[in-house]
Amino acid sequence: MAVLVTGGAGYIGSHMVWALLDAGEDVVVVDRLSTGFRWAVAPDARFYLGDVGDRTILQQIFSENRINAILHFAGSVVVPESVAHPLRYYENNTANTRTLIDEAVAAGIPHMIFSSTAAVYGRQPVAGPVPESGVVSPETPYGLSKLMSEIMLRDTAAAYDFNYVTLRYFNVAGADVQGRTGQSTKGATHLIKVVCEAALGARDHIDVYGTDYPTPDGSGVRDFIHVNDLVEAHLSALTYLRAGGAPLVANCGYGQGFSVLEVLQAVMDIENCDFKVNFCPRRAGDLASVIADARLIGQELGWAPRYNDLNLILRTSLDWERRLLERAGNDLETIYRKLAAGRF
């Protein structure tokens, strides 16, 4: 049996493909390459160029491969962009997921692991780590588009021979500890990627959005999880579903937070560098603090993180960014031209 990874040419998806292959799985990838790269897909995976909202490509994949489970990463993920262009997010994240679920049920595929987000929670009445039972009240189209998909999975599992695990990601960061893949998306807004670019001279400044939050230093606090730990959580979820586990929604984070300013200082310390920081107003949809209550995933899936260390996350990110920059003379536009042309 094979595992289908949607969005397997993207940041998290490409890490997932390597982890599945390392575990001895037969892997199939579908990606439209809007933000991912063909070169990022491990060579032993079978690749299909297409959109998960395209029934024709899905039916072809399901007829040509014996798919037992789907790991669904394909989607749009930029919070401010979702505020500016909500219909794009409801199409790509919600409508396309509905099509994927429908075709999976029709093909008799029993298992799905869904890439959701802590953005489904919104503001909480009580400070501290957010449990899965926390108030679900998304404040952005991004969060709402993911919550709609969670609801579809719940209702589908109640009606058909179909089971799922939804993992609500907090802030995914870092790069493959073996150096095989990393965050390479043009225009990525992930804090750690942007800070690493600045530390290595590819950006001339960093914008910090919001310094008046009710946090120790006024900047936003986030729970950063290493991407290798995240994909290990998916492997645990796959084992759980194949063993007959019940539908599950679980947070995927470490249960501890670091502020934006702490991350900037840590990168400066590691690289022994400095860079310009612009302090800007808060962005729409950003919250003061987002930290996971991560107990449930350990209890239900037996998952335990191996890379819970901010400096390790930053060092793997810097190593990957340095590798990209060395191939393009520290020029971001040159990097992305080469990546798009498959010349990494």
Pairing type for strands 163-169 and 111-117 reads: parallel
End-to-end CA gap in the chain = 31
The candidate with the shortest Cα–Cα distance to 218, out of 207, 209, 206, 231, is 209
Residue 34 identity (one-letter amino acid): S
Distance between CA 179 and CA 335 in Å, rounded?
17
The residue among 61, 59, 64, 26 whose CA lies nearest residue 45 is 26
DSSP symbols for 65-122: S-EEEEEE--S---HHHHHH-HHHHIIIIIIHHHHHHHHHHHTT--EEEEEEEGGGT-
Answer whether residue 189 shows pLDDT above 90. no
201 domain-assigned: yes
DSSP single-letter state for residue 9: T
Output the six-digit token pair for 246: 């019940």
Question: What's the rounded Cα separation, in Å, for the pair 281 and 134?
Answer: 28
Nearest to 13 by CA among 39, 32, 40: 40
Contact 12, 73 (CB under 8 A): yes
The predicted pLDDT at position 338 comes to: 55
Strands 258-259, 171-173: pairing is unpaired
Question: Tokens 């991560």 appear where?
Answer: 294
Does the annotation mark 142 as catalytic? yes
CA distance linking residue 174 with residue 109, whole number of Å: 32
* 123 and 9, same domain (yes or no): yes
Q: How far is 338 from 197, CA to CA, in rounded Å?
A: 17
Q: Which of 74-88, 122-136, 145-159, 311-325 has the lowest mean pLDDT?
A: 122-136
Are residues 281 and 231 part of one domain? Answer: no
The whole-number pLDDT of residue 38 equals 92
Same structural domain, 71 and 20? yes
Measured in whole angstroms, the distance separating CA 190 from the mean position of its chain's CA atoms is 10
Q: Could you tell me if residue 205 is inside a domain?
A: yes
| Domain identity same for 206 and 237 | no
- Catalytic option among 90, 142, 213, 254: 142
Same domain, yes or no: 105 and 213:
no
Q: Indicate whether 165 belongs to any domain.
A: yes
b or e along 94-108 (b: 16 or more beta carbons within 10 Å of the residue's beta carbon)?
bbbbeebbebbbeee
What per-residue confidence (pLDDT) applies to 196? 95
At residue 15, what are phi and psi to the nearest 5 degrees? -65, -40
SS3 state of residue 49: strand
Confirm whether 18 is domain-assigned.
yes
Pick from 315, 307, 208: which is nearest to 262 by CA? 208
Average pLDDT in the chain: 93
Q: What is the pLDDT of residues 247-270, one digit of tens each?
A: 999 999 999 999 999 999 999 999
Q: CA separation (Å) from 278 to 203, 216, 260, 268? A: 12, 19, 13, 15
Shared domain check, 314 and 165: no
Same domain, 243 and 138: yes
Looking at the structure, tell me whether residues 119 and 261 fall in a common domain.
no
Residue 344 — pLDDT band, cuts 50, 70, 90? low
Print the domain residue range for 134: 2-174+224-252
Q: Which CATH number fits the domain that encloses residue 261? A: 3.90.25.10
pLDDT beyond 90 at 124: no
C-alpha 87/C-alpha 179 separation (Å) is 36
Q: Considering its fold, how many domains does the chain have in total?
A: 2
Question: For 171-185, what is each residue's pLDDT tens digit?
Answer: 999 999 999 999 988
Cross-sheet strand order for the sheet of 221-222: 258-259, 221-222, 289-290
Same domain, 38 and 141: yes
| pLDDT (0 to 100) of residue 333 | 63
Q: Does 273 reside within a domain? A: yes
**Model confidence, pTM:** 0.93
Residue 127 lies in a domain: yes
Helix pair 141-159, 96-106: axis angle to 10 deg: 20
Instruction: Decide if 297 is inside a domain.
Output: no
Quick one: 138 and 212 in the same domain? no
In this predicted model, what pLDDT tens digit does every residue of 16-39 receive, in sequence order? 999 999 999 999 999 999 999 999
Does residue 238 sit in the same domain as residue 265?
no
62 belongs to a structural domain: yes
Same domain, 130 and 245: yes
Q: Residue 9: which CATH number? A: 3.40.50.720
CB-CB contact of 229 with 15 (8 Å): no
pLDDT at 28 (0 to 100)? 98
